[in-house]
């Protein structure tokens, strides 16, 4: 098996990867996820990630939690399974504080990348 990589990134890097179409994994509990998550994020709690990892979409993954601790562990777990993962420093708290899209409820929500891309990159 090839070895992937894990990296902790700030919100600006994560938003650019999100806007480019990378999959966001929220590794918190379903209850935490429902209180507010990155729009479009899939909810895969950290405790279930090892089993679910093989069924995740291809490509780079962005892991996020409340403040960054669990997402950092998730990124390393994914790297050991050969995936490339970015962990969001500061988690959804930092994402929300920077004014980026957050959705409440149990479903991912729909991310609208085109408007965000224009706003970010002019």
**Residue keyed to tokens 């480019």:** 20
Catalytic residue among 65, 85, 86, 94: 65
What CA–CA distances, in Å, run from 118 to 27, 89, 109?
Answer: 29, 24, 20
Residue 65 appears among annotated catalytic residues: yes
What CA–CA distances, in Å, run from 68 to 18, 21, 61, 105, 106?
Answer: 17, 21, 15, 21, 21
Catalytic positions, please? Answer: 65
């Amino acid at each position: 098996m090839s070895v992937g990589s894990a990296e902790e990134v700030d919100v600006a890097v994560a938003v650019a990867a999100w806007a480019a179409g990378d999959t966001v994994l929220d590794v918190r509990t379903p209850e935490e996820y429902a209180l507010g998550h990155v729009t479009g994020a899939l909810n895969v709690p950290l405790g279930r990630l090892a089993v679910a990892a093989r069924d995740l979409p291809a490509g780079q993954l962005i892991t996020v939690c409340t403040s960054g601790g669990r997402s950092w562990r998730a990124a390393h777990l994914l790297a050991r399974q050969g995936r490339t993962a970015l962990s969001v420093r500061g988690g959804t708290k930092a994402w929300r504080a920077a004014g980026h899209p957050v959705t409440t409820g149990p479903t991912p929500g729909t991310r609208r990348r085109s408007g965000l891309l224009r706003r970010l990159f002019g």
